[in-house]
Structure 1
Amino acid sequence: MKGSKNKKLIVISLLILILVFENLILHINNYTVSAAAPQLLYGDVDVSGEVNSLDYALIKSYLLGNITDFPDVNGKKAADVNGDGSIDSLDISLIKSFILGIIERFPIETPANTFAKGADISWLPQMEASGYKFYNNKGLQQDCLQILKDYGVNSVRIRTWVNPSTDKWNGHCSTNETIALAKRAKNLGFRIMIDFHYSDSWADPGKQTKPAAWLNLDFNGLMKMTYDYTYDVMTKLRNNGILPEWVQVGNETNNGMLWEDGKASNNMKNFAWLVNCGYDAVKAVNPKTKVIVHISNGFNNTLFRWMFDGLNSNGAKYDVIGMSLYPDKDNYPALLNQCLNNMNDMVSRYNKEIMICEIGMQYNYASESKAFIIDMVNKTKSLPNNKGLGVFYWEPESYPGMNGYNKGCWNSDGKPTIALDGFLN
Structure 2
Amino acid sequence: MADMRTSVPAELSRRAVLLGAGALALGAGTGTGTPQAQAATFVKGADISWMPQMEAQGRIWRNGAGTAQDLFTILKGYGITAIRLRTWVNPSSDPVHGHCAIEETAAMAVRCKNAGLSVLVDYHFGDTWNSVGVQNPPAAWASMSYSQMLDAMYDYVFHTMNVLKYNNVTPAWVQIGNETNSGICKPVGSISRPAQMTGLLNAAYDMVKHVFPATPVLVHLAQPQNLGSVQNFLNAYRDNGGRWDITGLSSYAQGGNVAPVLDNMHTIQSTYGRPVMHVEYGGPLNKPTQVRDSLRAFVTGLKSFGGLGTFYWEPEVYSPFATYGSGAWDPATLRPTAAMDGFLNV
Settle same-fold status: TM greater than 0.5. Answer: yes
Q: Partners in 1 of 2:133 and 2:296 — Cα distance?
A: 29
Q: Is the CA contact (8 Å cut-off) linking 1:374 and 1:423 kept in structure 2?
A: yes
Name which of 334, 340, 346 aligns with 1:414.
Answer: 334
- Equivalence for 1:307: 233
Q: Does 1:318 align with 2:238?
A: no
CA deviations 1:301-355 (Å, max 9, x no partner) are: 111211111111111001111111123xxxx233212211112211221111101
**TM (normalized to structure 1)?**
0.72
Shift of 1:209: 1.1
Whether 1:281 aligns to 2:201 is no
Correspondent of 1:382 among 304, 321, 332: 304
Aligned to 2:149: 222
- Aligned alpha-carbon RMSD (Å): 1.8
Residue 72 (structure 2) pairs with residue 152 (structure 1): no
Q: 1:179 maps to which residue?
A: 106
Mapped partners of 2:231, 2:78: distance in 1: 35
Q: Is the 8 A contact 1:248 1:291 kept in 2?
A: yes
The one-letter code sitting in structure 1 at the alignment partner of 2:334 is G
In structure 2, distance between residues paired with 1:108 and 1:244: 7
| Mapping for residues 234-383 of structure 1, pairs under 5 Å | 234-264=161-191, 266-327=192-253, 332-383=254-305
User: Cα offset for 1:396?
Assistant: 0.3
Quick check: 1:168 aligned with 2:95? yes
Partner in structure 2 of residue 397 of structure 1: 316
Partner Cα separation in structure 2 for residue 112 and residue 119 of structure 1: 15
Aligned equivalents of 1:341, 1:183: Cα separation in 2? 37
Shift of 1:109: 11
Q: Secondary structure at the match of 1:294?
A: strand
Secondary structure at the residue paired with 2:189?
Answer: coil
Task: Summarize the alignment of residues 197-216 of structure 1 with structure 2, pairs less than 5 Å apart.
Answer: 197-216=124-143
Superposed displacement of residue 232, structure 1: 0.7
Give structure 2 stretches of 5+ with no counterpart: 1-27
Whole-angstrom CA distance in 1 between matches of 2:86 and 2:38:
24
Closer, same or farther in 2 for the Cα pair 1:336/1:381, shift >3 Å? same
The answer (yes or no) to whether the contact 1:362–1:406 under 8 Å persists in 2 is yes
Normalising by structure 2, we get a TM-score of 0.88
How far did residue 235 of structure 1 move? 0.9
Question: What is residue 4 of structure 2 aligned with on the other side?
Answer: none
Q: Deviations over 1:239-297 (max 9, x none)?
A: 11111111110001110010111111x21221111110110010000111111110111
For residues 342 and 174 of structure 1, the distance between their equivalents in structure 2, rounded to whole angstroms, comes to: 34
Query: Would the aligned equivalents of 1:107 and 1:189 in 2 still touch at CA under 8 Å?
Result: no
For structure 1, list consecutive stretches of 5 or more residues without a partner in the other structure: 1-83, 92-105
- Residues 300, 338 of structure 1: 8 Å contact kept: no
C-alpha separation between the residues in 2 aligned to 1:247 and 1:85?
A: 14
- 1:154-187 deviation digits (Å, cap 9, x = unpaired): 1000000001000000000011100000000110
Could you report, residue by residue, the CA deviation over 1:341-388 in whole angstroms, capped at 9, with x for unpaired residues? Answer: 1122112211111010101101110101110111111111111xx3x1
Query: Higher relative contact order at CA 8 Å, sep ≥6: structure 1 or structure 2?
Result: 2
* Cα distance per residue 1:138-163 (max 9 Å; x no partner): 11111111111111111000000001
For 2:195 and 2:206, locate their aligned partners in 1 and report how far apart those are by CA, in whole Å: 16
